[in-house]
Amino acid sequence: MNKNFWKDLAAKGPIVALAPMDGYTDGPYRLTVRKTAPSTVVFSEFYSADGLVRSKHLAKEVLPHDGIERPLVFQIFGKDPEMFREAAKLIEASGATGVDINMGCPAKKVVKSGHGSSLMINRDTAFRIVEEMAKAVKIPVSVKTRLGWADDSLLVEFCQGLQNAGADLITVHGRTYQQAFWGKADFTGIYELKRHLSIPVLCNGDITDYDDGISKLGNLDGFMIGRASFGNPWCFLPGKYRPTLGEILETMDSHGALLVEKKGRKGALEARKHLVEYLHGFPGVKNYRTRLVSVENIEDIRTILDDIRKDWPELLDKVPDGSAIPRKFEGIENCPTD
């Protein structure tokens, strides 16, 4: 447990992280990324601070994790500083590397409840949340937020307040609350922010892979990749690495098996949305994708993967033409994402 984790990591080179994404960055997803790109810091889905404290079932379900996942940061949301403090203690006890506060989710139901992006305007509450958590735990406390509500005019002031309250790292998504996930991410205000803070600062938004992140790094300490990692854990590797079809199928098998192992039939059903993202750019792919969204168990998954191997043995050592085609997710409100 090291409060200086983020500063120490930043001193070694750019920090590369998997962004927290609700409905995606569960244990199997994080393990898949870590096994593919071991230098990646992985963030969890976001969980309610109140829920973790009040529901032993939720805490027992989501906090246990495989050691291979570390460095692992759990993200939580809410508005009650005392609940954040107690949730941070639970996360620390789980062995996680750090705890992150969601101050950026633009989903209307989240903001209406006083959570997520609303904390950018309820600043006293935001600062108290960070302060309570920083005093309560020895693991680093970080914040993920946005440029601002309508523009970035108050970004520096807000983040200086977070730093003064005890934040050890800040990640900024390059859009405002009003933009949600529309338009193009702009990192100009984030570069300016870094000039005013002594803690590490990461950027996030529309980053497609490691090389793209490096090209946008500027004076920052690192970056997060979110939606571009769907079906593409190789995006965290340098050199625009593109896997062969054989590698893709092997990773799909592993990812599917992890989902079923950890979640049973629920995991098999969740595998549908995960595994369909891996397949692009070779003949008959539409048929295989159609079958994947109907799988019921690991046997169904492996039957489809075996069929691809049997149908296309000559392609297994080749890179599918569409495996690195960037996909647009503009307007998605699957929060927090990217």
161, two tokens: 């307040």
172 pairs with which residues across the strands?
A: 145, 203
Work out whether strand 41-48 and strand 98-103 pair parallel, antiparallel, or are unpaired.
unpaired
Spatial separation of the C-alpha atoms in residues 236 and 111, rounded to whole Å: 31
CB 216 within 8 A of CB 187: yes
Between the CA of residue 13 and those of 7, 9, 39, 40, what are the distances in Å?
10, 7, 11, 12
For residue 153, which amino acid is it?
A: S
| Nearest C-alpha neighbor of 102 from the set 158, 20, 193 | 20
105 classed as catalytic? yes
263, two tokens: 């979640």
Spatial separation of the C-alpha atoms in residues 19 and 230, rounded to whole Å: 11
| Nearest C-alpha neighbor of 100 from the set 184, 5, 177 | 5
Q: What is the DSSP letter of 284?
A: T
Work out whether strand 141-146 and strand 169-173 pair parallel, antiparallel, or are unpaired.
parallel
Q: Which one of the listed residues 105, 159, 203, 235 is annotated catalytic?
A: 105
Between the CA of residue 123 and those of 84, 127, 129, 322, what are the distances in Å?
15, 6, 10, 45
Active site residues: 105
